[in-house]
Amino acid sequence: MRPSGGQSQDPIRIWLRIVVTAGLALNVWGCSSNKSGPPAQLVKVEAVAVRRMNLQQQSTTEAVVFAIHEATIVPKISAPILKFYVNRGDHVRAGELVAVLDNGDLKAAVAEANGAYEQAQANFQNATGAQLPVQVQAAEQDVQNARSAFQAAQYLYESDNSLYKQGALAKARVDEAQVALVQAQNKLAMAEQQLQRLQAVGKTAQVKAAQGQLDAARGQYEAAKAQLAYSEIRSPMTGVVTDRPLYPGGMASAGSPLMTIMDTSRIIARAHLPVAQAEGLKAGDVVEVSAPGQEHPSAGKVTLVSPALDPDSTTVEVWAEAANPMGRLKPGITVTLTFTSKNIPGALTVPTSAVVSKPDQPPYVMIVGSDGRAHERVVQIGIEQGNNKQILQGLREGELVVTTGAYGLPDNVKVQVGKTSATIPRPHSTQPFLASPLAF
């Protein structure tokens, strides 16, 4: 017979077995649950494919607008202003009369000089067409007389010499006739020389004197006409009157500005660029000129790149010329110039938002791998145009880079691409990887 105490312990043993069995079951279930783990959480991002495109290196700077041509009219004489024919803002043509100075005294001077000139012309005509002086006439008569005496002496000598040869005349008569012939010949030569001297000296001196008077009178007449012309102010160029500081009745002083005219049909924008920014620029390069309040920029071109640096600012002066048909680009305003200094065809590019830059770290992008995970990739950046950056090293064409959500994205994290601008290759991994656009 079992003791009564043994019968009271059976329910306790049964309860312990139940507790142990339940604990073991829970432990087994827990181990099984830990082995599979909860499903990994996906990070939603947007990505695009690395592509090639043509890039242009552009730089902007401020510039001051100048008229392509400008003329400050300065009178050459001092006189009261009789009349203005133009006002500020008026368009004028080259050679157009724009102002007249008081010129009554100048007109009188022109008339006086003209009279003196006409008198000098008459004197010159008389000097060139008048008869020879009396001395010249006397010298001509002496030549004629000496020639007649020479001819007579020559005839007498030939006659006496013939008679001498016939024995009808003495030798002494022939010698006397020969002496007389020589004397007559000498007198003829002297008379001819005297006539030549008188003709040369007398005629030349008379003509020269008349010519000198004529030239002097002509010079005075031309000077008087020039002074009169100085009183009529004409525009040296086609343009717009931008300044007219004086008024009719005021005194115009020689050497002081009377009027300013500008040709604003085209403008010159002058800028000073750092050496690095101006490197590669040359005359003929395309440039855009943007002004405040102007909806569309004006197209222009570089006309000058200074070969030397400005000694004060150590910058390069660059001129850009642009059309200004409506006159919207006013001389003196500040505009923005956009230069295209370099063209890179087929550059490897990514959106600017795809490049992550942190202090003391090289730039990098997050690429979407075939395993459906984001991987950090260090890249080397080239030029930037708009929202695109050139990639020099680190990426290949067609690779997917994260554009939205890359900053702070852990490396090797699973991602879910919600938007892409190119077809995303399906990964080899069997893990979830969504390529269709999703609404966030």
Q: Is the pLDDT of residue 430 over 50?
A: no
Could you count the other beta carbons within 10 Å of the beta carbon of residue 292? 8
Q: Is the pLDDT of residue 14 over 60?
A: no
Q: Is the pLDDT of residue 76 over 80?
A: yes
pLDDT band at 386 (very low <50, low <70, confident <90, very high): confident
| Residue 35 neighbours by CB under 8 Å, 6+ apart | none
For helices 134-166 and 171-230, angle between their N-to-C axes, nearest 10 degrees: 160
Query: By C-alpha distance, which of 50, 42, 11 is closest to 395?
Result: 50
Q: What is the 3-state secondary structure (H, E, C) of the chain?
A: CCCHHHHHHHHHHHHHHHHHHHHHHHHHHHHHHHHHCCCCCCEEEEEEECEEEEEEEEEEEEEEEEEEEEEEECCCCCEEEEEECCCCCCEECCCCEEEEECCHHHHHHHHHHHHHHHHHHHHHHHHHHCCCCHHHHHHHHHHHHHHHHHHHHHHHHHHHHHHHHHCCCCHHHHHHHHHHHHHHHHHHHHHHHHHHHHHHHHHHHHHHHHHHHHHHHHHHHHHHHHHHHHCEEECCCCEEEEECCCCCCCEECCCCCCEEEEEEEEEEEEEEECHHHHCCCCCCCEEEEECCCCCCCEEEEEEEECCCCCCCCCCEEEEEEEECCCCCCCCCCEEEEEEEEEEEEEEEEEEHHHCECCCCCCCEEEEECCCCEEEEEECEEEEEECCEEEEEECCCCCCEEEEECCCCCCCCEEEEEEECCCCCCCCCCCCCCCCCCCCC
Q: Is the pLDDT of residue 439 over 60?
A: no
Weakest mean pLDDT among 142-156, 199-213, 232-246, 376-390: 199-213
Q: Is the pLDDT of residue 122 over 70?
A: yes
pLDDT of 437 reads 34
* Check whether domain 263-343 has CATH 2.40.30.170, yes or no: yes
Q: Is the pLDDT of residue 92 over 80?
A: yes
Q: What percent of the chain has pLDDT over 70?
A: 81
Q: Which residue has the higher pLDDT, 422 or 319?
A: 319
Q: Is the pLDDT of residue 204 over 90?
A: no
The token pair that represents 421 in the structure block: 């601008």
pLDDT of 35 reads 44
Weakest mean pLDDT among 65-74, 297-306, 426-435: 426-435
Q: Are 54 and 354 in contact (CB under 8 A)?
A: no
pLDDT band at 26 (very low <50, low <70, confident <90, very high): very low
Question: Per-residue pLDDT averaged across 422-429, rounded?
Answer: 39
* Check whether domain 44-54+345-419 has CATH 2.40.420.20, yes or no: yes
pLDDT of 91 reads 93
pTM of the predicted model as reported, rounded to 2 decimal places: 0.53
Query: By C-alpha distance, which of 296, 239, 232 is closest to 262?
Result: 239
Q: Is the pLDDT of residue 209 over 80?
A: no
List phi, psi (to 5°) of 110.
Answer: -65, -40
Rounded (10°) CA dihedral 219, 220, 225, 226: 70
Question: Per-residue pLDDT averaged across 102-121, rounded?
Answer: 89
For residues 328-367, b (16+ Cβ closer than 10 Å) or e, as one string?
ebebeeebbbbbbbeebeebbbbbebbbbeeeeeeebbbb
- Max mean pLDDT among 6-20, 132-146, 172-186, 409-423 falls in 172-186
Question: Per-residue pLDDT averaged across 110-117, rounded?
Answer: 90
Q: Which residue has the higher pLDDT, 15 or 247?
A: 247
Between CA 99 and CA 230 the distance in angstroms is 11
* Mean pLDDT score of the chain: 81
pLDDT of 2 reads 43
* 395, amino acid identity: L
- Max mean pLDDT among 74-88, 109-123, 208-222 falls in 74-88
